[in-house]
Amino acid sequence: DASVRTGVQLTNDAFELLNANVIAASVAGPIREALAPYLGQAPILELHKLQAYTEGGFFATHRDTQRGDDHFGTVVVLLPTSHTGGD
């Protein structure tokens, strides 16, 4: 939906993460540890899609579509790139 986001969207079967264990340790691990006390167990993080933005692209405030009965949130990982805006 172009009113919510622009850019290129890839589903998780369209790309491969190299060094996924490094990503899991540095991103998913701390998130699971932080949320586990509140949930009673460590949440499972699943890769759903990759969204890439070109110049002028955006991601507007919105509510995500729930992917299942146990889906309670979305994790957004911003890769280190030079940019302006996003305030």
Residue 21 pLDDT level (bands cut at 50, 70, 90): confident
30: alpha, beta or left? (left if phi > 0; alpha if psi -120 to 50):
alpha
Q: What is the pLDDT of residue 86?
A: 65
pLDDT at 15 over 80: yes
Report pLDDT digits (tens) over 38-76: 888 888 888 888 888 878 888 788 777 888 888 888 887
Residue type, 1: D
pLDDT at 78 over 80: no
Kindly state the tokens that stand for 7: 């850019």
pLDDT at 87 over 70: no
Kindly state the tokens that stand for 45: 């993080």
